[in-house]
C-alpha cells in the first residue's frame, strides 16, 4: 500500500489571474527574506483570462516557460534548463503558482526547517512579477503554504491553523483566503488536501481519516458564490486538470484481498462526474499515470507479482504491457508515450504503445517532476524540507523517441565503474578533517560531489555547491565551484585507487578570509 499512500499526496493544479506593480527590484537586495509590507491594491486587481498553473512540487510550466523553486530562489527557463533566469533570490522557495505575469511562491524563514517553532508562522508567501520586478512578501503563514490562485483580488492558498498540535501535519491542512486589499483572512474548508482548481472552482480532497472509500472525497469551493459541494462520492487517489476538466482515480479495497480501480472525469461547467473506467483487481492495484486518452495501471497478486496495463479511456480496450519487470514505478507521460523506472535495478523503460524497451537509466534516485521543452525536470525535495530542494533537467536527447531502440540498455564490458569512490574522503589520521571530498554519485563518466573545508577549531566551516563534472582519462576531474562564503574557485581531483588527490583554490579568499582550498592526499572513511 506504499504506492497507494504516495499517490494520495500527489497534486497538480490549474487556476486564474493577478498582476503586481511594475516597480523595479533593487539588484542589491538581500538573498533571503524581504521585509513584511502592508497589503497593497496597486495593480493587484488587474486580471486576465488566463488561468494560474499551480503546484506543490516546486515546478510548473506556463505557456512554454518553466518556473522552478528551489534553495536558490525562483528561476525560469524556456530552453529545457540549458539557460535560466533568476526572478527571485528569496530562498528556500517552494510551491509555485503563476499565470505567466505574476508568480506566487512560499518560503521558510527559520534557521532550520525542523525547528520547534515550525508551526509558529515562520513561513511566508511572496509575490513577484514574471520579469523579476516588484518582489514583495504577501503574508506570513504557519507552514509552507501552497498558493492556488487569485480571484477578484483574493489569494487562495493551503495552510494549517496556528493553534494546531504538531502531530500529523498532513492531516491539518486548511483551504484559506487572503484579501490582498484589506488583509482579511478566512478559513474556507478544514482538512482540505491536494488542492487544484478549474475556472472559478477550487477542488480539494476532504480528508475524513477513515479506512473506507470515503476517506478523501473530492469537494469543490466556488470562489464566486462561496458554495461548497461534492464532486464525487468516491475518494480520489490522484487528480489532474486536462483541457478544463478534472480527471481523477479511485482505489476501493474489497473483501477477499481484492481491490477495484476506477477513473472519473468531472466537468465544472455541467458539474457532472462521469465514470470512464472500472476494473476489479487482485490484492493491490493503482493507476500510475493518465492523460485524457489513456490510463496506465498495475495489478499485484498475493505472490507480489506485478502486471502492467494500458486502458483506452474511450474504447475501454485494455492492453497488457508484457515487457516490464516487477516493481516498476515513476511512470511518466511524454506526449502519448510512457517512461517507467525499475525500482529494484534502477533501469529505465520506454513504452510506445506497442512494446516496452529497456533504455539508459534516466530517473536515477530522484523524482521526475515534469517533462517540458524536450527535457525531464528532476528534484530531490521532500515534505517540508525545502532547504534541501534542488531542481535540474536532463535533455531528452538522452532518450530521443526516434533513436530510443539504439540507446544502450546495459553498460558495455569496457565501461569503468567508479562506485568504489562513493562516500567521504579525508586526510589520513583526521577523523574531523580540515578538508574532505564526498562523492554523491557517478553516472557514466560524470561525478557528483561536494568539497568541504573546516578551520582547525571548527570555528569556520564551509563547503562547495554540489558539483557535477566529467572524469577524463579515467582519473582526472577538473571542476569549478562556489562555496558557502561566496568564494568562486576551481580545482582538480585525481583518482588514485586507495587515495585521491585534491587541489582547490579560490581567487576570492583574500577578500573573504576563509573558504574552500586544499592541496593534499585524501583517504576514504
Q: How far apart are CA 500 and CA 421, in angstroms?
A: 9
Residue count of the chain: 525
Q: In 435-498, which ranges are E strands?
A: 435-443, 446-454, 461-463, 467-472, 476-482, 488-496
Question: DSSP label at 510?
Answer: H
| 3-class DSSP assignment, residue 145 | coil
What pLDDT shows up at residue 191?
86
Domains belonging to the chain, first-starting first, are 11-207 (no CATH), 419-524 (2.40.128)
For residue 261, report the phi and psi dihedrals to the nearest 5 degrees: -110, 145
Grid coordinates in use for 39? 497589503
Dmax over Cα atoms in the chain, in whole Å? 73
User: Each residue's pLDDT tens digit in the chain (525 positions)?
Assistant: 233 223 222 222 322 233 443 333 333 333 333 323 333 323 222 333 358 888 877 889 999 999 998 888 999 999 888 788 999 999 888 899 999 999 999 998 865 444 444 456 678 999 999 999 999 999 999 888 899 999 999 999 999 876 554 444 444 689 999 999 999 999 999 889 888 888 899 999 988 766 666 788 999 999 999 999 999 888 888 888 898 999 999 988 888 788 899 999 999 989 999 999 999 998 788 898 999 999 999 998 877 788 999 999 999 999 999 889 888 887 888 877 888 888 777 778 888 888 888 876 666 556 777 788 878 787 765 433 334 567 877 766 555 443 332 333 333 334 578 888 998 888 754 444 478 899 999 988 889 999 988 754 444 568 888 899 999 888 999 999 888 777 888 899 999 888 899 998 887 666 556 778 888 888 887
Helix (H) or strand (E) holding 136: strand 136-141
Let me know how many helices (H) and strands (E) the chain has, helices first.
Answer: 2, 42
DSSP calls for 232-299: EEEE-SEEEEETTEEEEEEEEEETTTEEEEEEEEEETTTTEEEEEEEEEESSEEEEEEE-SSEEEEEE
What pLDDT shows up at residue 296?
94
What pLDDT shows up at residue 398?
59
Evaluate the CA torsion angle 502, 452, 482, 106 in order and state its sign.
positive
Q: How far apart are CA 94 and CA 404, in angstroms?
A: 34
Q: How far apart are CA 511 and CA 280, in angstroms?
A: 68
Amino acid at each position: 500500500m506504499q504506492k497507494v499512500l504516495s499517490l494520495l499526496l500527489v497534486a497538480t493544479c490549474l487556476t486564474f489571474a493577478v498582476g503586481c506593480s511594475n516597480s523595479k527590484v533593487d539588484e542589491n537586495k538581500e538573498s533571503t527574506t524581504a521585509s513584511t509590507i502592508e497589503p497593497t491594491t496597486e495593480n493587484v486587481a488587474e486580471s486576465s483570462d488566463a488561468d494560474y498553473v499551480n503546484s506543490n512540487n516546486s515546478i510548473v510550466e506556463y505557456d512554454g516557460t518553466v518556473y522552478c523553486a528551489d534553495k536558490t530562489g525562483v528561476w525560469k527557463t524556456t530552453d529545457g534548463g540549458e539557460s535560466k533566469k533568476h526572478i527571485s533570490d528569496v530562498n528556500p522557495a517552494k510551491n509555485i503558482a503563476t499565470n505567466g505575469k505574476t508568480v506566487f511562491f512560499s518560503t521558510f524563514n527559520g534557521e532550520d526547517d525542523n525547528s520547534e517553532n515550525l508551526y509558529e508562522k515562520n513561513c511566508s508567501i511572496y509575490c513577484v512579477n514574471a520579469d523579476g520586478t516588484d518582489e514583495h512578501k504577501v503574508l506570513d503563514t504557519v507552514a509552507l503554504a501552497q498558493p492556488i490562485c487569485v480571484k477578484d483580488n483574493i489569494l487562495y492558498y493551503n495552510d494549517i491553523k496556528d493553534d494546531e498540535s504538531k502531530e500529523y501535519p498532513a492531516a491539518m491542512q486548511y483551504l484559506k483566503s487572503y484579501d490582498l486589499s484589506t488583509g482579511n483572512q478566512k478559513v474556507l474548508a478544514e482538512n482540505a488536501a491536494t488542492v487544484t482548481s478549474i475556472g472559478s472552482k477550487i477542488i480539494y480532497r476532504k480528508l475524513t481519516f477513515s479506512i473506507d472509500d470515503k476517506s478523501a472525497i473530492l469537494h469543490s469551493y466556488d470562489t464566486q458564490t462561496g458554495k461548497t459541494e461534492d464532486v464525487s462520492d468516491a475518494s480520489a487517489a490522484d487528480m489532474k486538470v486536462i483541457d478544463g476538466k478534472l480527471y481523477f482515480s479511485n482505489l476501493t479495497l474489497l473483501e477477499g484481498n481484492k481491490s477495484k480501480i476506477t477513473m472519473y472525469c468531472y466537468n465544472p461547467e455541467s458539474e457532472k462526474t462521469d465514470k470512464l473506467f472500472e476494473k476489479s483487481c487482485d490484492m493491490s492495484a493503482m493507476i500510475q499515470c493518465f492523460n485524457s486518452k489513456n490510463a496506465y495501471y498495475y495489478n499485484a497478486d498475493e505472490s507480489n507479482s506485478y502486471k502492467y496495463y494500458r486502458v483506452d479511456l474511450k474504447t475501454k480496450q485494455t492492453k497488457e504491457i508484457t515487457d516490464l519487470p516487477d516493481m516498476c514505478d515513476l511512470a511518466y507521460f511524454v506526449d502519448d508515450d510512457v517512461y517507467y523506472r525499475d525500482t529494484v535495478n534502477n533501469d529505465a523503460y520506454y513504452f510506445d504503445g506497442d512494446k516496452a524497451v529497456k533504455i539508459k537509466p534516466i530517473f536515477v534516485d530522484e523524482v521526475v517532476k515534469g517533462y517540458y521543452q524536450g527535457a525531464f525536470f528532476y528534484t530531490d525535495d521532500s515534505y517540508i524540507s525545502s532547504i534541501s530542494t534542488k531542481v535540474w533537467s536532463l535533455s531528452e536527447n538522452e532518450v530521443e523517441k526516434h533513436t530510443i531502440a539504439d540507446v544502450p540498455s546495459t553498460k558495455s564490458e569496457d565501461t569503468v565503474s567508479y562506485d568504489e569512490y562513493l562516500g567521504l574522503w579525508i586526510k589520513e589520521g583526521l577523523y574531523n578533517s580540515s578538508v574532505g571530498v564526498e562523492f554523491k554519485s557517478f553516472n557514466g563518466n560524470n561525478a557528483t560531489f561536494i568539497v568541504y573545508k573546516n578551520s582547525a577549531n571548527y570555528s569556520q566551516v564551509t563547503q562547495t555547491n554540489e558539483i557535477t563534472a566529467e572524469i577524463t582519462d579515467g582519473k582526472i576531474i577538473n571542476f569549478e565551484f562556489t562555496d558557502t562564503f561566496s568564494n568562486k574557485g576551481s580545482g582538480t581531483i585525481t583518482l588514485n585507487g586507495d587515495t585521491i588527490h585534491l587541489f582547490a583554490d579560490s581567487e576570492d579568499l583574500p577578500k573573504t578570509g576563509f573558504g574552500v582550498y586544499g592541496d593534499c592526499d585524501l583517504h576514504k572513511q
